Amino acid sequence: MLGPTFPTLAANVGKNVSDIYYIFVGRSLGSLGGSVVGGVLLDCMNASLLLALSMLGTMSGLYAIPWCKESLLLTILMSVIGGSLGILDTGGNVLALYTWGSEAGPHLQALHFSFAAGAFLAPIVAQMDSRSSEPEEIAGAEKTNQSVLKLVPTASAASTTPALNDHHNEGFLWSYIFIGTYILFVSFLFFVLYSKSSSARDKSKAPAQDRLAKYHWPLVGLLFVFFFFYVGAEVTYGSYVFTYAMVFAEMTESQAAALNSLFWGTFAVCRGAAIFGAALLSPATMIVASLLCSAASSAALAFVHHRAALWVGTAVYGASMATIFPSGIAWIEQHTAVGGKTASLFVVGATLGEMCIPVAVGYLQGRYHHVPVVMYTAFITSIVTVLLFPAMYKLANWPQQRDLQEVSDRETRKTLLSNSRLPEDEEEEEHVREWNDADFEVIEMNGKQKNSLTDTSCRIPGDSPAEISLQPHLDDALGNSPVIADGSPGE
């Protein structure tokens, strides 16, 4: 909303357009503070309630801005909106991770696609009530939207006629109130969600602390730097490509505006397509593909000075930048627990990149007028992110690989020990089996011998004297007393 309505904001507070750049600083500082505060609050209060309250803050600021006549009050309102949006940015990502966990990839892509869709629709809404404004003012608004310090109009906005100011205020008023009312409706839905459950964070799967990676904070620090360069490059190119096209590529204003729209259009379309791509590809695969395309397109933009290369490179660069931020959050959630404080660091890194890199590019472009600083910045930041991600990937997976190797070594040692004991166990079992067989044979033999001797004793009366003479010896062997003919025991 801020870009298309920037000239009207300056006219409302009686300032030149180039004199109220500090409202951008106020909004960025508010977003920075809101990200930090939101990360802390997410760990101690209901997430749905926090998002509902942050949207109420945004709605209040949007409702108050149309009547703001003081530059200081306008800066404060922008800071309030930035703070509430910082809470929303952090809370939305964290709530998606709480709700869907490792399967949050497509949902995060859809969440960030909504950002791109809103950025596309908001300027259209902002122009609803200013279509009949003079062409010169529209052209000035388009130039101002590019946030270029050296090329902003220097004519005082206060010199505009009162009738024109009134017309701008009318359109400006209704567009802000329209979007503020929409945000109020969404806030009401979050309050309904909060009333349906005692704690959205309790019902969802909050990350367990035992999931923290061994190098959790170094990994978070690297991703902080990664998002710093990525978001800084994204905002810088989107802000300065209009001016680059007019100054270095010598395009007309309409062609430059079309080039700028091409960048954000491919950005939004690819974020929409990534909703389905995230269901098929892993976050790491999407990040690697995006980084390679970003490096190739930025190299073409920086070193191939041809108009066709500018158009194609801008389209590819916008598409490649679309999926990196949501894919990065989904990727790190697979390797470590992401809570409110951790997510707030990602948003803080992105906000600092959005604040610092465009300002540095604007300063350098002002000093070196004949150098395409914006294109070199795109190339350098692409190379930095290409180098950072392999380091993050190695750090995230190295402890896991080492643990898997240790487990594999332990299993190998256990298998070797069990195999070495197997022959001894088999030998012992064979020895026991032989002793059991020998005992069975002895018992069987003794039973047969006893049966044969018993049969012999039963045939004594009819046998010869020689057989009778053997009877005492056999009876001694069997442990029985000799038996005489009449069957009575002998003396």
pLDDT in tens, 411-427: 666 666 665 554 555 55
* Mean pLDDT, residues 303-329: 93
All domains of the chain, ordered by start, with CATH?
5-132+171-194+216-397 (1.20.1250.20)
- pLDDT at residue 467 above 50? no
Residue 32's φ and ψ, nearest 5 degrees, are -60, -50
Q: What is the pLDDT of residue 72?
A: 87
Instruction: Give the whole-number percent of the chain exceeding pLDDT 90.
Output: 30
Tens digit of each residue's pLDDT (9 = 90 or more) over 133-159: 444 444 444 443 443 333 333 333 333
Model confidence at 124, in pLDDT bands (50, 70, 90)?
confident
If one compares 214 and 212, the residue with the highest pLDDT of the two is 214
Q: What is the pLDDT of residue 491?
A: 39
Long-range Cβ pairs for the range 130-137 (8 Å, 24+): 130/8, 130/167, 130/168, 130/171, 130/172, 132/167, 133/164, 133/167, 133/168, 133/171, 134/164, 137/7, 137/164, 137/168
pTM: 0.66
Q: What is the pLDDT of residue 331?
A: 92
Around 440, how many Cα atoms within 13 Å sit in the side-chain half-sphere? 6
- pLDDT at residue 203 above 60? no
Average pLDDT, the chain: 76
Q: What is the pLDDT of residue 161?
A: 36
If one compares 485 and 67, the residue with the highest pLDDT of the two is 67
- pLDDT at residue 333 above 70? yes
- pLDDT at residue 453 above 60? no
- pLDDT at residue 205 above 50? no
| Three-state secondary structure readout of 30-55 | HHHHHHHHHHHHHCCCCHHHHHHHHH
Q: What is the pLDDT of residue 444?
A: 52
